[in-house]
Chains A and B, each alone.
Chain A
Amino acid sequence: MFGIKADWSLDVFERYFTLGDYSGGEARWCPGCGDFAVLNTVHRVLRDAQIPPENSVAVSGIGCSSRLPHYMGTYGLHGLHGRALPLANGIKAHRPELDVWVATGDGDCFSIGAGPWLHSVRYNMDMVVLVFDNAIYGLTKNQTSPTSPTGMTTSTHPKGAPLPALNPLTVTLGITNVSFVAQVVDWNPPLLFETLKAAHAHRGTSFVRILQRCPVFSESFCKPLQDNPNKFVLLEHENGIKLDDSVKRVFSQVEQHDPSDWLGAMKFAKDDEHLPLGLLYHDPDAVVYEDISARDLGKSDEEKITAINKAMDSFAI
Chain B
Amino acid sequence: MTATSANKTQGGPSLPVIPPAVKDSEATQQIMHTLRHFHLGNPSVRDAVQRVGSDFLPALLEPYRDVSRLRYDYPLFLFDAAQSEANPNPEQQAKPIAEVLGETVASFAPGGDSARILKDNLPWLERELRQKLVNVEGPVSATALVKDATEAMVKHLSLDKQNNTRLQDDIDKMLAALPGNGYLLAYGRYPAIHLLVHSIRSRVIPRHAGFRAEIEEHIRELKILLDVAHSQSDEAKKPETLSGSMGGGSSLIDTSVLSRVMGTKSQGSVAMSEERRKRIESALQALEEYQHSNTLVRFIHNGPLEGEWLSSTEGFESIDEADPCAAATRHFDEEAQRLARVFAANRIARLEINAIYDAAIHDPFFANFDWEAFSREELLLVPAVIALESANHVANDGMNSFSKLLSSGRPVQIFVRVQAHNNPAASSDEDPFQNYRTELGYLGIAHRQAVVSQASAARHINLLERFGSALDATRTSLHLINIGLRPTGQDMGLNAWLVAGAALEGRVHPAFSINPAAGDAFADRMDFSGNPQPENDWPLHMFEYLDDTGINVVQELAFTFADYALLIPRLHHHFAVVPNECDTDALVPVAEFLQLPEERVHQHVPFIWGVGSGNVLHRVVISRALIQACRDRLNFWHTLQEMAGVRNKHIDNAIAATRAEVEAQAAAEKAELQAQFEAELANVRAEAAGEVMGKLTDVLLGMDFTSGAPRPAFAASTTAPAAAAEEEVVEEAPVEEEEEEVLVEDPWIDTPLCTTCNDCLEINPIMFLYDDTNQAVLGDLSSGTYKQMVEAAEICPSKCIHPGQPWDASESGLDELKERAAPFN
Q: Judge if B40 is at the interface, Cβ distance under 8 Å.
A: no
For the complex, what is the distance from the CA of A248 to the CA of B621, rounded to whole Å? 61
Q: Judge if A77 is at the interface, Cβ distance under 8 Å.
A: no
Q: Judge if B389 is at the interface, Cβ distance under 8 Å.
A: no
Q: Which residue in chain A gives the minimum CB-CB distance to B124?
A: A12
**A37 and B459: CB pair below 8 A?**
no
B212 CB, nearest partner CB in chain A, Å: 40
Known contacts A7-B71, A10-B123, A188-B753: A213-B1 contact under CB 8 Å: no
**B501 and A2: CB pair below 8 A?**
yes
Interface segment, one of B144-152, B155-163, B359-367 = B155-163
For the complex, what is the distance from the CA of A14 to the CA of B69, rounded to whole Å? 12
**B505 and A1: CB pair below 8 A?**
yes
**A10 and B755: CB pair below 8 A?**
no
Fill in one digit per residue for B1-30: 1 if any A CB lies within 8 Å of its CB, else 0.
Answer: 111111111111000000000000000000
Q: Which residue in chain A gives the minimum CB-CB distance to B156?
A: A16
**A55 and B4: CB pair below 8 A?**
yes
**A36 and B756: CB pair below 8 A?**
yes
B residues within 8 A CB of A188? 753
**A2 and B1: CB pair below 8 A?**
no
Q: Judge if A20 is at the interface, Cβ distance under 8 Å.
A: yes
Fill in one digit per residue for B338-356: 1 if any A CB lies within 8 Å of its CB, else 0.
Answer: 0000000000000000000
Q: Which residue in chain A gives the minimum CB-CB distance to B532?
A: A1
**A55 and B757: CB pair below 8 A?**
no
A residues within 8 A CB of B71? 5, 7-10
Give the residue of B72, B117, B159 whose beta carbon is less than 8 angstroms from that of A8.
Answer: B72
Q: Give the interface of B toward A (CB within 8 A).
A: 1-12, 60-61, 64, 68-73, 98, 117, 120-121, 123-124, 126-127, 157, 159-160, 162-163, 458-459, 497-498, 501-502, 504-505, 532, 539, 541, 559, 752-759, 772-775, 795, 797-798
**A10 and B9: CB pair below 8 A?**
yes
Q: Judge if A32 is at the interface, Cβ distance under 8 Å.
A: yes
For the complex, what is the distance from the CA of A138 to the CA of B757, rounded to whole Å? 17
Fill in one digit per residue for A1-33: 1 if any B CB lies within 8 Å of its CB, else 0.
Answer: 111110111111111101110000001000111
A36-75 contacts to B (CB < 8 Å)? 36-37, 39-40, 43-44, 49-52, 55
Query: Contacts A3-B497, A37-B756, A186-B755 given; 6 further ones with Cβ under 8 A?
Result: A1-B559, A11-B10, A16-B159, A31-B757, A33-B757, A97-B5
Known contacts A2-B64, A10-B70: A43-B774 contact under CB 8 Å: yes
Q: Judge if A187 is at the interface, Cβ distance under 8 Å.
A: yes
Q: Judge if A190 is at the interface, Cβ distance under 8 Å.
A: yes
Interface segment, one of A111-119, A200-208, A271-279 = A200-208
**B1 and A19: CB pair below 8 A?**
no
Q: Judge if A240 is at the interface, Cβ distance under 8 Å.
A: no
**A203 and B7: CB pair below 8 A?**
no
**B127 and A10: CB pair below 8 A?**
yes
A residues within 8 A CB of B6? 14
**A36 and B757: CB pair below 8 A?**
yes
**B7 and A18: CB pair below 8 A?**
no
B residues within 8 A CB of A52? 5, 7
**A2 and B2: CB pair below 8 A?**
no
Known contacts A9-B12, A10-B9, A98-B3: A36-B755 contact under CB 8 Å: yes
**A202 and B1: CB pair below 8 A?**
yes
For the complex, what is the distance from the CA of A206 to the CA of B1, rounded to whole Å? 9
Q: Which residue in chain A gives the minimum CB-CB distance to B797?
A: A32
**B5 and A32: CB pair below 8 A?**
no
A residues within 8 A CB of B458? 3
**B163 and A20: CB pair below 8 A?**
yes
A residues within 8 A CB of B498? 2-4
B585 CB, nearest partner CB in chain A, Å: 28
Known contacts A2-B505, A246-B752: A14-B8 contact under CB 8 Å: yes
Number of A residues contacting the other chain (C-beta, 8 Å)?
55
Give the residue of B3, B162, B753 whose beta carbon is less than 8 angstroms from that of A126.
Answer: B3
A residues within 8 A CB of B157? 16
25 inter-chain pairs at a CB distance below 8 angstroms, sorted by A residue, are: A1-B505, A1-B532, A1-B559, A4-B64, A8-B64, A9-B12, A10-B126, A13-B7, A14-B7, A18-B117, A18-B159, A31-B757, A36-B755, A37-B798, A40-B775, A44-B774, A99-B4, A126-B1, A187-B797, A188-B753, A189-B754, A189-B755, A190-B753, A200-B1, A203-B1
B residues within 8 A CB of A12? 8-9, 123-124, 127
Fill in one digit per residue for A87-111: 1 if any B CB lies within 8 Å of its CB, else 0.
Answer: 0000000001111100000000000
**A39 and B60: CB pair below 8 A?**
no
B118 CB, nearest partner CB in chain A, Å: 11
**B2 and A126: CB pair below 8 A?**
yes
B481 CB, nearest partner CB in chain A, Å: 15
For the complex, what is the distance from the CA of A128 to the CA of B2, rounded to whole Å? 12
For the complex, what is the distance from the CA of A273 to the CA of B379, rounded to whole Å? 82
A18 CB, nearest partner CB in chain B, Å: 5
Q: Judge if A259 is at the interface, Cβ distance under 8 Å.
A: no
A residues within 8 A CB of B160? 18, 20
**A99 and B120: CB pair below 8 A?**
no
For the complex, what is the distance from the CA of A49 to the CA of B7, rounded to whole Å? 10
Give the residue of B9, B64, B72, B752 whose beta carbon is less than 8 angstroms from that of A189.
Answer: B752
B765 CB, nearest partner CB in chain A, Å: 13
B residues within 8 A CB of A76? none
A46 CB, nearest partner CB in chain B, Å: 10
Give the residue of A16, A127, A189, A215 whose beta carbon is less than 8 angstroms from that of B1.
Answer: A127
B residues within 8 A CB of A3? 72-73, 458-459, 497-498, 501, 504
For the complex, what is the distance from the CA of A184 to the CA of B69, rounded to whole Å? 39
B residues within 8 A CB of A16? 117, 120-121, 124, 157, 159
For the complex, what is the distance from the CA of A12 to the CA of B71, rounded to whole Å? 11
For the complex, what is the distance from the CA of A12 to the CA of B501, rounded to whole Å? 24
Q: Judge if A82 is at the interface, Cβ distance under 8 Å.
A: no
**A50 and B754: CB pair below 8 A?**
no
Q: Which residue in chain B gives the minimum CB-CB distance to A9?
A: B69
**A100 and B505: CB pair below 8 A?**
no
Known contacts A20-B160, A20-B163: A1-B3 contact under CB 8 Å: no
Q: Judge if A149 is at the interface, Cβ distance under 8 Å.
A: no
Q: Judge if A146 is at the interface, Cβ distance under 8 Å.
A: no
Q: Which residue in chain A gives the minimum CB-CB distance to B499?
A: A2
Give the residue of A10, A13, A31, A96 whose beta carbon is less than 8 angstroms from that of B3.
Answer: A96
A92 CB, nearest partner CB in chain B, Å: 8
B residues within 8 A CB of A86? none
B residues within 8 A CB of A40? 755-756, 773-775
A1 CB, nearest partner CB in chain B, Å: 5
A residues within 8 A CB of B1? 99, 126-128, 200-203, 206
**B795 and A31: CB pair below 8 A?**
yes
Known contacts A3-B72, A52-B7: A187-B798 contact under CB 8 Å: yes
For the complex, what is the distance from the CA of A19 to the CA of B162, rounded to whole Å? 11
Pick from B9, B11, B127, B539 the residue with the most CB of A within 10 Å. B9
B residues within 8 A CB of A20? 160, 162-163
Give the residue of B5, B758, B773 whose beta carbon is less than 8 angstroms from that of A36.
Answer: B758
For the complex, what is the distance from the CA of A187 to the CA of B155, rounded to whole Å? 38
